[in-house]
Amino acid sequence: MKILITGAAGFIGSHLVDRMLADGHEVTAMDNLVTGTMNNISQHLSNTKFQFIHHNVSNHIHIVGHLDWVIHFASPASPVDYLNLPIETLKVNSLGTHNTLGLALSKGAKYFLASTSEVYGDPEQHPQQESYWGNVNPVGPRGVYDESKRFAEAITMAYHKKHDLDTRMIRIFNCYGPRLRANDGRVVSNFIDQALRGKPLTIYGGGEQTRSFQYVSDLVEGIVRLTGVKFHEPVNLGNPQERTVLELAELIKELTGSKSEIVYKPLPTDDPKRRLPDITRAKQLLDWTPRVEIRDGLSQTIAWYKEQLAVAK
């Protein structure tokens, strides 16, 4: 197949590029490199089935030739990024989603939207099912991401219903692995980077807030499986094993052998207190469940960070 992946130089997007090329498809990677990096995809530049286009999808997109899939992953996806780039975040998830949907429609391609568990906001339902409408503050600091992703889902469903566009939607819960930027503000990357550098591990709030962590290869497998199933409602992809942020910090200290202390800072505004997916739909629809145990996934991620620190020296 011929596939366009937006946000292809980012953390998850680049792993998806790896998988699609490994499966024999032709991939056009598109990214404006605001939060992505060519280091994530440079290994493919000599591959005749791969091409890279430097472009902001919030602007009109022109692609020559046939496409089978448009897979839309472009967006800042961490609090540090979307708080620093609020307008860009709103645009890429509204204008960018509109542009990529229009491209898919004009090419007769199928469409895949990467949405997020952030559409649930600070949830009052636990665990979160796809039928839950969420608890989101539209004018809070996280609203630029939460609400723009909710809009992206709404316009994707509108294109499906109005134009009969063949669409898919996933809601991604916390994901980690190699290529997750050290300075992107997400809890796994923060803790590993701080532990390896001998800096204090920073916990916001008391550390009792919970998250679920899936390794990136598990997420990519779920994405690939969903492309093969005709289903248009959102699908949660995440790990149903809940753990506190403090538990994660202690585990990373153990795996890195770090002597770093743990320090506590105030909880950011609207930070979710509990986040856990109900993956019943993914199990039934895709026969999918995360396979990589957190110790194994974190060990592989830590090894990658150690390599990056060695190169930097």
Q: Please say if 82 is a catalytic residue.
A: no
Q: How far apart are CA 157 and CA 164, in angstroms?
A: 9
Q: How far apart are CA 105 and CA 236, in angstroms?
A: 25
Output the six-digit token pair for 93: 């998830």
Handedness of CA 297, 302, 303, 308 (dihedral sign): positive
Which member of 82, 111, 120, 145 is catalytic? 145
Q: How far apart are CA 166 and CA 69, in angstroms?
A: 10
Quote the radius of gyration of the chain (alpha carbons, Å): 19
Question: Is-contact 93 149, C-beta < 8 A?
Answer: yes
Pairing relationship of beta strands 210-211 and 243-244 according to DSSP bridges: antiparallel
Q: How far apart are CA 212 and CA 35, in angstroms?
A: 23
Q: How far apart are CA 110 and CA 14, in angstroms?
A: 20
Question: Is-contact 26 2, C-beta < 8 A?
Answer: yes
Sequence-separated (6 or more) residues with CB below 8 Å from residue 112:
69, 70, 71, 72, 167, 168, 169, 170, 223, 226, 227
As annotated, the active-site residues are 145
